[in-house]
Amino acid sequence: MAGWLFVLPALVMYGAFVLVPLAITLFYSTLRWNGIGPWEFVGFDNYTKTLTDPDLYGTIINAFKLMFFFSFVPVALGLLVASLIRRVATGALGSAARTVLFLPQVIPLVAAGIVWSWLLSKNGLINQVLSAIGLGDITRAWLADFGLALPAVGVIGAWVLLGLCTILLLTGMSKIDQALYESARLDGANAWQEFRSITVPSLRYEIGVCITVTVIASLAAFDIIYISTLGGPGTTTAVPGLEIYRLAFLGRNVGVASALAVVLVLLVLVTVLPIQRLSREEPA
Amino acid sequence: MIVGRTEVWTGRLLLIALMAVTIIPFLSVFTTALHRSGTVPPGLAWPADPQWGNFLEAFEQAHMDALLISSVIIVVGVVPASVVIATMAGFAIGHLRIPGSRWLFLLFLVGLTLPLVGIVIPLYYLVRSLGFYDTKLAIILPLIGLYMPFGVFWMRAHFLNMPTELSEAARVDGATTAELFWRIHVPLALPAVSSLAILLGVWTWNQFLLALVLVEDPTERTMAGALGAFQGQYATDIPLLSAGSLVILAPTIIVFLIFQRQFVSALLSGSLKG
């Protein structure tokens, strides 16, 4: 019985501030309610609205577009970089690199948003560099461009997550038996074949972790977008997190906001669970 | 190992390039912060007359002293409590294996991938009705709950690897469960506990959404929340905004540089286990 007392405090806090709110989100999602006045049951209406209103389901599409930058780019680039620096990532340079590459993980996302808003602005460093190399024609206020704001926000996320992925993958690579590479070389394998048939399969678990972390970061993105674009221009960078915040706290539309929140929670689950399953399975 | 010279140099250059991409944004903000307040300087240029006073002005404008106190209070309110109750639960589930621990563990796992934005709406009304709105408690209490999935998951993983013989020997000597926990298992769990504390500390310091929604007064917020408010206020004065951002970031960066080894290993194992 004493054992249960040990779990109790954790369970109470988790229940009160996570499980109960989760249930209440479900409940709110069936209401029409402005947050103050009386509410009425509307059944699945808010879900119908979420899945048919382009301003709402559009945020989900944007989140999947962001996933390319938040997830694919850091994982793919991280793999490439990690396998190229694998042999030099020891010693003084290696440990300096660890510290530096971790910096974006330690600072708040809000700070990354502020820093990059400045870099990507009309007078910012990105345009300064482009002008210097003769590409002055394509300079613009990147975060205010209808076509390029989403990729620009994506670059911020990629910057934050690349270091983490690289170092995670590097740590995984240090556990791979070097003899595998040596015998592959003796068999005449080139660098690409080594990468495909030794590095990637051995890093199954680490790659799974990187994908999980970055996919959640893209689907649940909020801080970076709130700071850098507020979803604009238009709705080109609006993501579910931002829309939930706006609907619930600025638009006083608690029901629809909650329905979108439930959809988001489910979306994260159905996206992340298969990745977890695949990366934990033993390779056949 | 067969390593070609070109291979080594490509690797080194690439590594340095990657470090440069990480650092240069900060340098740009730093040089911008030294320009005259109210001007729009170029992205990366050393000013003719560096305005070091900008940092002092930003320190005052951002109420940095009040902010530091508030953020520290929030971290102190969240981290020790979270770590202690997560360790207790991890001990009961991973080591004592109390009846139903499998289900309990699954229940905690549910929260592991849950985005905060999925529950922030009820949290707002809950905090209002409890009367904590616009106080530090509005951030502290929900965060403790939110950290339980990861905390319990983390500590359970530690306790699963503890040999049962250890506890059996102590039981034979007549130790109660509480004594077993505090005298024997807590001291042995200190490495796992301190990594958890570092992770939760960083996450708390950087928490933005809860601060934004539940606390209006910037000086009652976390550092990240205050930074957001500062950006809203000084968005047009780029040099002052840059100086303010650096001033607000300074404590994080200093603490990170001092404890970099612990940070990196905690964050690495944190994401691998999570």
Q: Which residue, A197, A191, A198, is CA-closest to A173? A: A198
Query: What pLDDT does residue A174 have?
Result: 84
Give residue A139's domain range. 63-250
For residue A31, the cross-strand partners are A41
- Residue A271 lies inside a defined structural domain of this protein: no
* Residue A87 near chain B (CB below 8 Å): yes
- Residue A103 lies inside a defined structural domain of this protein: yes
* Residue B146 near chain A (CB below 8 Å): yes
- Residue A132 lies inside a defined structural domain of this protein: yes
Q: Do B268 and A171 touch (CB under 8 A)?
A: yes
CA-CA-CA-CA torsion sign (B68, B69, B70, B75) = positive
What is the percent of chain A with per-residue pLDDT over 70, rounded to a whole number?
A: 98
- Residue A14 lies inside a defined structural domain of this protein: no
Which pTM does this prediction carry?
Answer: 0.91
Query: What pLDDT does residue B123 have?
Result: 96
Does the pLDDT at position A199 exceed 60? yes
Query: What pLDDT does residue B187 have?
Result: 92
pLDDT digit string, tens, across residues A139-154: 999 999 999 999 999 9
- Residue A8 lies inside a defined structural domain of this protein: no
pLDDT digit string, tens, across residues B226-242: 888 888 888 788 899 99
Q: Do B14 and A84 touch (CB under 8 A)?
A: yes
Average pLDDT value for residue range A244-257: 94
Count of C-beta atoms within a 10 Å radius of residue A44: 12
Question: How distant is the alpha carbon of residue B163 from its chain centre?
Answer: 31
What is the percent of chain B with per-residue pLDDT over 70, rounded to a whole number?
A: 98
Count of C-beta atoms within a 10 Å radius of residue A137: 8
Does the pLDDT at position A88 exceed 80? no
pLDDT digit string, tens, across residues B179-208: 899 988 999 999 889 889 988 998 999 999
Q: How many residues does chain A have?
A: 284
- Residue A209 lies inside a defined structural domain of this protein: yes
Query: What pLDDT does residue B80 have?
Result: 97
CATH of the domain at A172: 1.10.3720.10
How many residue pairs bridge chain A and chain B with CB atoms within 8 Å of each other?
A: 293
Q: Do A109 and B228 touch (CB under 8 A)?
A: no
- Residue A185 lies inside a defined structural domain of this protein: yes
Which chain B residues contact residue A263 at CB under 8 A? none
Query: What pLDDT does residue A151 have?
Result: 96
When mean pLDDT is compared across A79-88, B90-99, B204-213, the lowest value belongs to: A79-88
The H or E element spanning position B268 is: helix B260-273
User: Which of A7, A176, A250 to mutate to probe the B interface, most B CBs <10 Å?
Assistant: A7
The closest CB to that of A223, out of B118, B208, B272, belongs to B208
Q: With cut-offs at 50, 70 and 90, classify the pLDDT of residue A283.
A: very low
Query: What pLDDT does residue B273 have?
Result: 63
> In B, residues 61-90, which contact A (CB 8 Å cutoff)?
85-86, 88-89
Query: What pLDDT does residue A246 have?
Result: 95
Residue A245 to residue B209: CA distance in whole angstroms: 9
- Phi/psi at A134 (nearest 5 deg)? 85, 15
Does the pLDDT at position B1 exceed 50? no
Q: With cut-offs at 50, 70 and 90, classify the pLDDT of residue B46.
A: confident
Which chain A residues contact residue B150 at CB under 8 A? none
Residue A66 to residue A220: CA distance in whole angstroms: 11
The closest CB to that of A17, out of B40, B146, B260, belongs to B146
Count of C-beta atoms within a 10 Å radius of residue A197: 13
* Residue A275 near chain B (CB below 8 Å): no
Does the pLDDT at position B256 exceed 80? yes
When mean pLDDT is compared across A37-51, A68-82, B204-218, B255-269, the lowest value belongs to: B255-269
Does the pLDDT at position A284 exceed 60? no
* Residue B212 near chain A (CB below 8 Å): yes
Here the ipTM equals 0.90
CA distance A58 to chain B (A): 18
The closest CB to that of B28, out of A87, A106, A119, belongs to A119
Q: Reduce the secondary structure of B188-202 to three states and give it as a string.
A: HHHHHHHHHHHHHHH
Q: Do A3 and B92 touch (CB under 8 A)?
A: yes
SS3 A31: strand
Query: What pLDDT does residue B76 have?
Result: 96
User: Which of B91, B113, B126, B182 to mutate to probe the A interface, most A CBs <10 Å?
Assistant: B113
Does the pLDDT at position A234 exceed 80? yes
Q: With cut-offs at 50, 70 and 90, classify the pLDDT of residue A281.
A: low
- Residue A107 lies inside a defined structural domain of this protein: yes
If you search the block for the tokens 């910096």, which residue do you land on? Answer: A103
pLDDT digit string, tens, across residues A162-188: 988 988 898 888 888 888 888 888 888
Q: How many domains does chain A have?
A: 1
Question: How distant is the alpha carbon of residue B67 from its chain centre?
Answer: 16
* Residue B199 near chain A (CB below 8 Å): no
Which chain B residues contact residue A257 at CB under 8 A? 121
User: Which of A59, A107, A190 to mutate to probe the B interface, most B CBs <10 Å?
Assistant: A107
Residue A251 to residue A232: CA distance in whole angstroms: 17
* Residue A250 near chain B (CB below 8 Å): no
pLDDT digit string, tens, across residues B99-144: 888 899 999 988 988 999 999 999 999 999 999 999 999 999 999 9
Going along chain B from its start, the domains and CATH numbers come out as 5-58 (no CATH), 61-273 (1.10.3720.10)
Highest mean pLDDT among A54-63, A196-205, B57-66: A54-63
